Amino acid sequence: MSTLNPLRRVVSHVILDLDGTLLNTDGIVIEVLKVVLAQYGKKWDGKKSHRIVGKTPFEAASAVVEDYELPCTIAEFMSATTPMFSNQWCNIKALPGANRLVRHLRLKGVPFGLASNSPRANIDAKLSYHHGWTESFWAIVGGNEVENGKPSPDVFLEAARRLKVDPSNCLVIEDSLPGVMAGKAAGMVVVAVPSLPKQAGLFNSADEVINSLLDFHPEKWGLPPFDDWIEDTLPIEPWYIGGPVVKGFGRGSKVLGIPTANLPAENISGLLSEHTSGVYFGWAKLSTRGIYKMVMSIGWNPYFNNTEKTVEPWLLHEFDDDFYGEELRLVVVGYIRPEANFPSLDSLIQRIRQDGRIAEKALELPIYAGYKDDPYLKNSFQLNNCC
Ligand code: ADP
Ligand code: RBF
Ligand code: MG
């Protein structure tokens, strides 16, 4: 069976953006800006993130100086922040699915390049911390190597020129609006993977909007498919969270009939910013009761349009009573799907129950079953919560 939609264009080459698409740069940028703004007695405003995402360093600096009415020139601001950013490059993590994508394109022989608004020297420095990346790209183009940065198409056109391919045969993956505009202006197919939450609506010029790289299906565009999905699940590098069970939104059992045991925000905020929203599963341990299968959502629960990103683990077991205050530990081992909105509460409930059945079955597979014996679940609970 072919999964190719006849209306979809087929491509042969891929061009990736770096910051916000492959690398979780935004967190580092925000940390640095918080420190610098504090020196001027100002406070970072998360709602202004869109003013810097996808911009060249100079444009981003001018936006901050202007928005926060800083009493300095753009050049002064940049000479303060540039060394601070450079010091942080070693701490920038790959986004979920980035290593998997780079490895896949390389192993399948798909020619792929990198096109970023960052200066080439910065790109090289950032890539050097990610094993096997630099040598995987067939071409790398920095913002300083062309006349104009994104949203101008220059970086993408230059990447296509170096890849020796017609721009119309290229697929761009981009997290930012200027990047999507640049890819479209270059005549390329563009898959947007917005790095800021609740922004999907702004990306209507993209050919497809996905929630994370885990949701990229190359075969839709005539490229070789990933072959790591198993029984509707995608194995991921396991990650670990824990803490005492606290009160959530008060609607899991009441509204959905599906209780979800919430963890304290302060225990999970770092991990939450590292992991993209979606439905995941794994193993859960309750200190005094035992180890259970678990399926959970991470994100803003689009159906309820929450303002906070939360983790909502549903333990796949009938309990006779609540367990607020008990220590809960989770090993998250696989991914099922992006969070979605639903036309009715009943369709949301049906979908969550289906996620439960998928997780229940998948956790029997050897690739996931072994994590039931993970030391994080077995060890004494004195050791505290997070790894
Ligand atoms: P809250 O608003 O606190 O999240 P919920 O209605 O989602 O309320 O219920 C969650 C609570 O229900 C958990 O904190 C836990 O004490 C209890 N609970 C009982 N069974 C389960 C289960 N199978 N999975 C998760 N939590 C459960
Ligand atoms: N909420 C959504 O709005 N969209 C979803 O796709 C979604 N998927 C979920 C999948 C699972 C396995 C679980 C346990 C919850 C999911 N929820 C989703 C969250 C649900 O809305 C949440 O548990 C309640 O809002 C309780 O606060
Ligand atoms: Mg809950």
| pLDDT for residue 5 | 60
Instruction: Work out the burial of residue 199: count CB atoms within 10 Å of its CB; fewer than 13 is exposed, 13-18 middle, 19 or more buried.
Output: middle
| pLDDT for residue 258 | 96
| pLDDT for residue 57 | 83
| pLDDT for residue 106 | 98
Q: β-strand 290-299 against 112-115: which pairing, if any?
A: unpaired
Name the closest-CA residue to atom 15, ligand 2.
297
pLDDT tens digits, one per residue of 133-153:
999 999 999 999 999 999 999
Name the closest-CA residue to atom 21, ligand 1.
259
Task: Count, in order, helices (H) and strands (E) of the chain.
Answer: 11, 11
| pLDDT for residue 239 | 94
Residue 93 has pLDDT above 60, yes or no: yes
| pLDDT for residue 334 | 98
Distance 269 CA to ligand 3 centre (A): 17
Q: Rounded to 5, what percent of the chain is helix, strand, coil?
A: 40, 20, 40
As a whole number, the mean pLDDT across the chain is 92
Distance 240 CA to ligand 3 centre (A): 19
In the numeric block, which tokens belong to residue 333?
Answer: 């081992």
Residue 75 pLDDT class (50, 70, 90 cuts):
very high
* Rounded Cα gap, residues 202 and 194, in angstroms: 9
Residue 2 has pLDDT above 50, yes or no: no
Largest pairwise CA distance in the chain: 66
Residue 308 pLDDT class (50, 70, 90 cuts):
confident
Ligand nearest to the CA of 248: 1
**DSSP 8-state secondary structure symbol assigned to residue 322:** -
**Residue that wins the pLDDT comparison between 96 and 196:** 96
Name the closest-CA residue to atom 9, ligand 1.
259
**Residue that wins the pLDDT comparison between 30 and 102:** 102
Residue bearing tokens 């001027």? 40
Ligand nearest to the CA of 249: 1
Q: Is any atom of ligand 1 closer than 6 Å to the C-beta of 259?
A: yes
In the numeric block, which tokens belong to residue 367?
Answer: 């690739």
| pLDDT for residue 381 | 55
Residue 369 pLDDT class (50, 70, 90 cuts):
very high
* Ligand 2 atom with minimal separation from the 260 CA: 23
| pLDDT for residue 1 | 43
Q: What is the pTM assigned to this prediction? A: 0.90
CA neighbours within 13 Å on the CB side: how many for 81?
26
Residue 267 pLDDT class (50, 70, 90 cuts):
confident
Length of the chain: 387
Pocket of ligand 2 (CB under 6 A): 248-249, 251-252, 256, 258, 260, 279, 295-297, 301-304, 312, 314, 339-340, 348, 352, 355
Q: What is the amino acid identity at position 384?
A: N
* Ligand 1 atom with minimal separation from the 324 CA: 16
* Rounded Cα gap, residues 180 and 340, in angstroms: 22
Average pLDDT on 165-176 reads: 97
Q: For residues 241 and 267, is the Cβ–Cβ distance under 8 A?
A: yes
Q: C-alpha dihedral over 321, 327, 331, 332, to 10 degrees?
A: 60
Active site residues: 17, 19, 312
State in Å, rounded, how far the first CA of the chain is from the last one: 43
Pure H helices in the chain: 25-39, 57-67, 74-88, 98-107, 120-127, 154-163, 177-185, 265-274, 345-362, 366-369, 375-378
Distance 245 CA to ligand 3 centre (A): 9
| pLDDT for residue 385 | 46
**Ligand 1 pocket, mutate which of 323, 324, 326, 349 (most atoms under 8 A from CB):** 323
**Ligand 1 pocket, mutate which of 245, 251, 253, 285 (most atoms under 8 A from CB):** 253
Average pLDDT on 174-200 reads: 92
Name the closest-CA residue to atom 20, ligand 1.
319
- Of all residues in the chain, what percent carry a pLDDT higher than 70? 96
**Residue that wins the pLDDT comparison between 234 and 252:** 234
Q: Is any atom of ligand 1 closer than 6 Å to the C-beta of 324?
A: yes
Q: For residues 282 and 236, is the Cβ–Cβ distance under 8 A?
A: no
Residue 378 pLDDT class (50, 70, 90 cuts):
confident
Q: For residues 334 and 233, is the Cβ–Cβ distance under 8 A?
A: yes
| pLDDT for residue 116 | 97
Name the closest-CA residue to atom 24, ligand 2.
252
Residue 3 has pLDDT above 60, yes or no: no
pLDDT tens digits, one per residue of 50-71:
888 878 889 999 999 999 999 9
Average pLDDT on 76-88 reads: 92
Residue 387 has pLDDT above 50, yes or no: no
